[in-house]
Copies of this chain bind each other. A is one copy, B any other.
Amino acid sequence: MRTVEVDLGAASYPIYIGSGLLKNDFCQQHIVGNSCMLISNTTVAPHYAEVLSQQIKIDKTGECLLEDSEQYKNLESLEKIITSLLEQHFDRNTTLIALGGGVVGDICGFAAASFQRGVNFIQVPTTLLAMVDSSVGGKTAVNHALGKNMIGAFHQPQCVVIDIDTLQTLEEREYRAGLAEVIKYGLIIDAEFFDWLQQNIQLLMQRDSEALIYAIERSCAIKADVVSQDEKEQGIRALLNLGHTFGHAIETGLGYGEWLHGEAISTGMILAARLSEMLGLLSKTDVKRTTDIFKQTGLPTHIPNAMTADRFTELMAVDKKVKDGVLRLILMESIGKAVIKDDVSPAQIKAVIETHPA
């Protein structure tokens, strides 16, 4: 087992990464108070809820299951959790446990942030995407019909328990989507890790345990390091959004769930790389290396037919990365070095979309 520490002063917490962790008492160790409620969904719970619950020795426990998929990441699901907590008389001294992918983690995290103005929670991510991204860093939220993650809070968990065995039941498409975020860490900040990924992408595609533990540890360590420097996303944390402004436009434009988040940011990162080249920041070779690894992973590299350049710029205008009306984009200067740019015009964005290879 590996442990990555997320260093956030009083809100610091460990991420445990390994095989067989659900059968251990990591959750139990980090429960604060005398009650806990497991929040999961109807797909994940049948596989893992029982083994996890057996490790929890506490007076009062409960369970609240949500429907599976991004379309349920809304205020109604938040209300469902709060209703469940209140009906069963859970009080402020409760720990919520999020067992599932990013949707469960984000909703549960926001429920923990807002129930009685804040209770403790633990993340037990069961998708690769949630393991390397949403469960680290304390961003919680639900979607609004007009934009992703528009209602939320910064709220750090007590710990994150990553049991890679849970990836065995993950659908192939979901798994590959998770790899998109892993590759992102190499692209934005760690050229050496990107080289390792290029060499080991086949092992990762086969879900090799050792390769997976290394890739997850490296990803979590990079994200933890960035988040420690900038918890509230005033600066460097924005780099984690490489490909996300394009990606969110695709997700919103097609309707949540049509393309998975990892798929949308795969095309998004390639668009960011091509835009970087167009602006003279990035070499043609690095654009090709970027495109190739996503192709090898079987991730989309094209723009969906339904998305015109106008639709992109319209949707990107409501993204959270807009500041004082100026769109903030994350671009690349090389593989392993992302930069924040505030001066990209809608015309330049349109140009990169209109010239994108089909």
Interface residues of A (CB under 8 A from B): 33-34, 60, 75, 78-79, 82-83, 86-87, 89, 91-93, 110, 113-118, 139-141, 144-147, 149-154, 232, 317-318, 320, 322-325
Chain B residues, CB < 8 A from A110? 114
Quickly give the copy total for this chain. Answer: 2
A304 shortest CB reach to chain B, Å: 23
Given A34-B325, A86-B318, A320-B91: A154 touches B118 (CB 8 Å cut-off): yes
* Extra contacts besides A92-B320, A115-B151 (5): CB < 8 Å: A86-B144, A91-B320, A115-B150, A117-B141, A117-B149
What is the chain B residue whose CB lies nearest that of A117?
Answer: B152
Min CB–CB distance A167 → chain B (angstroms): 29
- Kindly list the 9 A-B residue pairs having the minimum CB-CB distance in the complex, ordered from nearest: A86-B146, A91-B322, A117-B152, A34-B324, A116-B320, A114-B151, A93-B324, A93-B323, A75-B75
DSSP majority for the A interface? mixed
Given A93-B324, A144-B79, A322-B92, CB of A153 within 8 Å of CB of B113:
yes
**A33-B324, A83-B144 given; A153·B118 CB < 8 A:** yes
Which one of B87, B91, B154 lies within 8 Å of A324 (CB-CB)? B91
CA gap between A217 and B286 in the complex, in Å: 63
Chain B residues, CB < 8 A from A325: 34, 60, 91
Complex Cα distance, B111 from A153, in Å, reads 11
B151 touches A82 (CB 8 A): yes
Most central of A34, A117, A147 by chain B CB within 10 Å: A117
Min distance, Cβ A151 to any Cβ of chain B, angstroms: 5
Provide a sorted-by-A list of 11 A–B residue pairs whose CB atoms are within 8 angstroms: A34-B325, A82-B151, A86-B147, A86-B318, A87-B146, A89-B318, A92-B322, A93-B324, A114-B152, A115-B150, A115-B151
- Chain B residues within an 8 Å CB radius of A322: 91-92
Residues of chain B contacted by A232 (CB below 8 angstroms) = 118
Q: A117: which B residues are within 8 A, CB to CB?
A: 139-141, 149, 152-154
A89, A92, A114, A325 — most chain B CB neighbours (10 Å) = A114
